[in-house]
Amino acid sequence: MSDVASLAGVSKMTVSRVLAGRSASESTRARVQRAIDELGYVADAAAGALSSGRSSFVAVLVPSMSSSNFSDTVSGLTAVLEPQGLELLIGDTDYSLEREERLVRQMLRHQPRCIALTGAQHTEATRTLLARSGVPVVEMWDQPAHPIDMSVGFSNVSAAREMVRYLAGKGHRRIGFIGGASELDWRGLDRLKGYQMEMKALGLGEPRVVRLGDSPITMSHGAPAMTELLERWPDTEAVMCVSDLSAFGAIMECQRRGIAVPGKIAVAGFGNFEIAACCHPTITTVSVDAYGIGRRAGDALLAALADEEGESATHTRRTVKTRIHYGVVERESA
């Protein structure tokens, strides 16, 4: 920056101001810009952050980037935060709370302006870390009973119950559930819980649950899960799957066996992934606006940042909960 300053015949401060787009006469600005271009100068973000005490990072943690759900959410966050000059520091927790903790600790070293997490489950250490950091936090994809700070999501339990009611409304009584076997996918577990609760509430008899494969289960687990379900409960009339991906796999298995969907058995998914709308038959599902969750979370963070600016320097925990709407989308499969 000194080089640029001397080449332009001004002080470092002026260069800094031009870069920040603050007060500067046109001629000065032009000269500085010319010097910058000539030298190929790129300002050092670390120095800036250190000096000003504020970085331009937003830490974002999702369980998996390969799930379209979460990559859509990240897109939403990007759409809102990037225009504000913020940069996303994206981490993939791989559905592990320990890994989440490790990543939070690491990202905190970069003094992020705010943090977006997925889910309501975190280790005690993570909570402590976050509390001490004092930055705005938003938890996405769930409705925590006791949010760390803000939340943007919906109740996976309620959404699953709604799907059971939908299937029951179609006249089905012997309804099964297909989900993953691990205990790490909290949203999947909530959907299972919702299924069980509503089955009981409606008096639909014993739950028929097949849990198979590491969560989150994906397309390839749908087929064996459907196979198992049909073996254990051959008279099953409908199945709800923890996600559209497993529903798709289940439906493909039915096609292979010549079992008509929904004629012989109805299959429903969850999430309204792209595949649900364009496979054959199309999949009845619960639509969730994953991109919208990202946008809303971004908005919430920006709002927190804004009134942090206004009031004291420290953010006061506010417990703002944003509820995301969802709904059953009726298609061909159920």
Partner DNA sequence: TTGAAAGCGGTACCAT
Partner DNA sequence: ATGGTACCGCTTTCAA
User: Closest separation between CB of residue 214 and DNA, Å?
Assistant: 37
Q: Which of 202, 204, 277, 302 lies at the binding interface for a copy of itself (CB under 8 A)?
A: 277
Which residue in 132, 231, 235, 313 binds a copy of itself (CB under 8 A)?
A: 132
Total number of residues that touch a copy of itself (CB under 8 A): 49
Rounded to a whole number of angstroms, the minimum distance from the CB of residue 311 to a copy of itself is 24
Say how far apart CA 248 and CA 253 lie, in whole Å. Answer: 9
Of a copy of itself, DNA, none, which one does residue 257 interact with (CB within 5 to 8 Å by kind)?
none
Residue 285: strand, helix, or coil: strand
State which of residues 3, 5, 16, 110 lies at the interface with a copy of itself (CB under 8 A): 110
DSSP string covering 78-102: HHHHGGGT-EEEEEE-TT-HHHHHH
Of the candidate spans 66-74, 157-165, 196-204, 310-318, the one that interacts with a copy of itself by CB under 8 A turns out to be: 66-74
287 binds a copy of itself (CB under 8 A): no
- Closest distance of CB 109 from DNA, Å: 8
Helix axes 12-20, 26-39, angle to 10 degrees: 100
Residues 194-213 touching a copy of itself, rule: CB under 8 A, are: none
Single-letter residue type at 168: A
Residue 249 binding target from a copy of itself, DNA, none, CB below 5 to 8 Å by type? a copy of itself
Residues that bind DNA in the complex, under the rule CB under 7 A: 1-2, 9-14, 16-17, 19-20, 23-25, 27-29, 41, 43-44, 47-48, 50-53
Please state the separation of Cα 157 from the chain's center in Å.
17
Q: How far is CA 177 from the centre of its chain?
A: 23
Taking CB within 5 to 8 Å according to partner kind, which of DNA, a copy of itself, none is near residue 146? none
Per-residue DSSP letter, 284: B
Q: What is the CA radius of gyration of the chain?
A: 25
| CA distances for 215 relative to 30, 83, 218, 219, 222, angstroms | 56, 35, 8, 12, 12
| From 2-10, 39-47, 264-272, 320-328, span contacting a copy of itself (CB under 8 A) | 39-47
Q: Could you tell me the smallest distance in angstroms from the CB atom of residue 200 to a copy of itself?
A: 33
202 makes contact, choosing from DNA, a copy of itself, none, with CB < 5 to 8 Å by partner type, with none
Among 98, 280, 306, 323, binds a copy of itself (CB under 8 A): 280
Smaller CB separation from a copy of itself, 39 or 201: 39
Burial class (CB in 10 A: 0-12, 13-18, 19+), 273: buried
Straight-line distance from the first to the last Cα atom of the chain, in angstroms, rounded to the nearest whole number:
64
Nearer Cβ to a copy of itself (17/110): 110
Among 12, 173, 200, 256, binds a copy of itself (CB under 8 A): 256
Q: Can you tell me which of 31, 63, 78, 156 binds a copy of itself, judged by CB under 8 A?
A: 78
Q: How far is the CB of 106 from DNA (least distance, A)?
A: 14
Minimum gap (Å) between residue 82 Cβ and DNA:
19
Read off the amino acid at residue 236: T
Own/partner long-range contacts of 304-308 (Cβ < 8 Å, ≥24 apart): 304/114, 304/136, 304/149, 304/150, 305/113, 305/114, 305/136, 308/136
Q: Which does 66 bind (CB under 5 to 8 A by kind): a copy of itself, DNA, none?
A: a copy of itself
Using an 8 Å Cβ cutoff, are 261 and 267 in contact? Answer: yes
Distance of CA 26 to the CA centre of its chain: 44
